Structure 1
Amino acid sequence: MGRKVEEVVEVLVEPIANRNGLELVDIEYSKEGQDWILRVFIDKKEGVSLDDCQSVSRELSDILDKKDPIDKTYLLEVSSPGIDRPLKKDEDFIRFSGRKVDISTYAPINGEKKLNGELLGIDEGNIKLVVDGEELNIPREKVSQARLAVEF
């Protein structure tokens, strides 16, 4: 059910984000304890402000109230994706080329399911990554999660 809700919400929130000069990064709909939580993550180059989050939240809340596509009671949260932003779209892998990333895979790549390295981009469905000086081409369908690495 979570994936269907996320797809419905994506169609509703994408135009709101675009009108406000924001990028829709991700949507999560999950149960935490007794509560269902609908999280919408937005971003922009110069960073997301509290006003950005409130504006998208108000507009999306109004549309969700009118269209009522979710049959359960839920909490709506709109926020930035944080410093360990997920990479979901091809554009993300291009935009963050040169940055350190953490990638988890469904099956081992070179004996590892968790990889950390420099992102080189994406080419023909393969994420290009340098790990310990070795260039890897990781098939996108084998990636369970990709995030910007948190560096201190």
Structure 2
Amino acid sequence: MLKEKLLELLAPEVEALGYELVELDAPGAGGSGTLRIYIDRDEGITVDDCERVSHRVSGVLDVEDPIPGHYVLEVSSPGLDRPLRTEAHYQRQLGHLVKVVLAPGSPGRRRYKGRIEAAADGVIELEVDGERVALSLSDIESARLVPEF
């Protein structure tokens, strides 16, 4: 619940600066821990970009105070193993290798590793071991690119 509230609160602020809020990791129960915000843009991310977003987000968090207790704010690029959260994220990564973990109670097995073949209408399609598998975005707990060298 806290993660969705933070995404709703912070995404417009990050986008107003010209960045995409790719993902965030919210502090644990009780608010203690680290709030990690992953940002990106076509030109890539620099330390100055992270500082700019950190300053803007800190001001919003100070005013809105959505996180109880003490926490540390970190802003960074998503890295080579970037998380995928939205349909647009998957569409930009067509053909790339990804690890997907489904939420408990989802149909089928829980973990998949395969190439992204399609992403549309709330469904992604992966090629896993020579077979095409369709997964609902609403069933995905987490997904990350697998760097290939």
TM-score of the alignment, normalized to the shorter chain, above 0.5 = yes
Unpaired runs of at least 5, structure 1? none
Does the 8 Å CA contact 1:12/1:60 hold for their aligned counterparts? no
Q: 1:40 aligns with which of 30, 37, 58?
A: 37
CA distance in 1, matches of 2:135, 2:4: 26
Cα distance, 1:55 vs structure 2: 0.3
| Aligned residues between the structures | 146
SS in 2 for 1:101: strand
Q: Identity, % of aligned pairs?
A: 36
Determine if the alignment matches structure 1 residue 117 to structure 2 residue 120: no
Q: 2:66 aligns with which of 65, 69, 73?
A: 69
Whole-angstrom CA distance in 1 between matches of 2:101 and 2:5: 27
Q: Which residue of 2 aligns with 1:7?
A: 4
Moved segments of 4+, more than 3 Å: 106-109
Counterpart mapping for 1:7-26 below 5 A: 7-26=4-23
Measured at CA, do residues 102 and 13 of structure 1 come closer, stay the same or move farther in structure 2, by a change above 3 Å?
same
Contact 2:32 2:69 in 1 (8 A): no
From 113, 127, 131, the equivalent of 1:130 is 127
CA distance in 1, matches of 2:61, 2:148: 37
Distance in 2 (CA, whole Å) between partners of 1:95 and 1:44 is 12
Q: Shift of the alpha carbon at 1:89?
A: 0.6
Letter in 2 for 1:8: K
TM-score, normalised relative to structure 2: 0.84
- Report the CA distance shift for 1:122/1:68 in structure 2 as closer, same or farther (over 3 A): same
Using the size of structure 1 for normalisation, the TM-score is 0.83
Where structure 2 has 5 or more consecutive residues not aligned to the other structure, the ranges are none
Q: Structure 1 residue 116: deviation in Å?
A: 1.6
Assess, with a 3 A threshold, how the Cα gap between structure 1 residues 74 and 148 changes in structure 2: closer, same or farther: same
Separation in structure 1 between the aligned mates of residue 37 and residue 87 of structure 2, nearest angstrom? 19
> How far does residue 8 in structure 1 lie from its aligned partner after superposition?
3.1
Q: CA offset at residue 67 of structure 1?
A: 2.6
